[in-house]
Copies of this chain bind each other. A is one copy, B any other.
Amino acid sequence: MRERIAVVGLGLIGGSLARRLAVSHDVIGYDADPTGRGLARAAGLTVRDELAETLRDASVVFVAVPLSDLSTVVSQALSAGAVVSDVGSVKTPLYAAVRSAGHAGRFVGGHPMAGSERSGFGASDPGLYDGAAWVLCLEPDSHVDTWLRVARLVTGIGARVVPSAAADHDAAVAAVSHVPHLLAAALAATVVDAGPLALTLAAGSFRDGTRVAATAPELPTAMCRLNRAAVASALAEMTQRLSADPGPLIQAGHRARLAWEHRSSAPADIPVGAGLQDRLLDLGRAGGWVARVGEDTLSVVVPEPI
């Protein structure tokens, strides 16, 4: 089913999404930055110079602007009447804003777990989402048909759609993404302050452990501030673990890393029908995802417990 889709924000995330969606849909892009618009046009995308014009004819809008502008642009898109999704890395505050405007039924908060330390349309890649986990939130006031419509688009570009309540998402990404940014920053700063000898000896474990510190600092700063409570909680747990004896800590970390690498999973089907929302939320809590959205059935994957 071909959709008329607007993608607002054509950086690494939005640019990659627009390029991939344009393979199967009518896509119009917009970016506040004329340079980004120029690069996107040069790559063959249809791009408008005005946001209002971009939103006018779209039936589905993906908002991929920085966190600081997200709530404003999502509101504008919802006012234009379309189904709206986004790619922001913190979901609870955005749902509060959307809900207070009475638009929750047409909104599906999203978060692709993909990216890199690079940014801008120049870093975009239509293959970025192949196999990536992509959270689509389900809240008590969500409309499951709207969710399925967005899920069809997202599975259509090769991503694994993970259904989650917004608060569960925010707690999980605090641990898997926001705290790793803080660890990388603290490690890089500690090693530089340790002096030139330490910098010369810094090799593989430093390189890997600090890679995300190369990210433009505005992004992780905004994420950590917006997700303050969940980040503080995950960080407190980290700090407590670090204060313990290294032997059991390293053993537990080793088991955990291998369990993550070698987790196995099994396919299953979920019928589209009554009780779907609860079934989807159960699926997401178990670490599962939707691989394909059919007319009557969702093809899903459920990992084994570890």
A87 CA to B191 CA, complexed, in Å: 22
A261, CB-defined interface residue at 8 Å: yes
A305 CA to B250 CA, complexed, in Å: 35
A194, CB-defined interface residue at 8 Å: yes
B214 near A261 with CB under 8 A, answer: yes
A197, CB-defined interface residue at 8 Å: yes
A203 near B177 with CB under 8 A, answer: yes
A213 near B172 with CB under 8 A, answer: no
Assuming the contacts A208-B211, A225-B247, asked whether A197 and B253 have C-beta atoms less than 8 A apart, the reply is: no
B187 near A183 with CB under 8 A, answer: yes
List, in ascending order, chain B residues with CB within 8 A of A197's CB: 162, 164, 168-169, 172, 284-287
| CB interface residues, A 173-198, toward B, < 8 Å | 173, 175-177, 179-198
Assuming the contacts A199-B303, A205-B212, A235-B242, asked whether A184 and B251 have C-beta atoms less than 8 A apart, the reply is: no
Describe A's contact surface by its main secondary structure. Answer: helix
**Contact surface of A with B, Cβ cutoff 8 Å:** 113-116, 132-133, 135, 160, 162, 164, 168-169, 171-173, 175-177, 179-206, 208-217, 220-221, 224-225, 231, 234-235, 237-239, 241-243, 246-247, 249-261, 263, 284-289, 303, 305-306
- Identify 17 residue pairs between A and B in the complex whose beta-carbon atoms are under 8 Å apart, listed by A's number: A114-B204, A115-B204, A162-B197, A169-B201, A171-B194, A176-B191, A177-B205, A191-B260, A194-B234, A196-B306, A197-B284, A197-B286, A200-B289, A208-B211, A213-B250, A214-B258, A221-B247
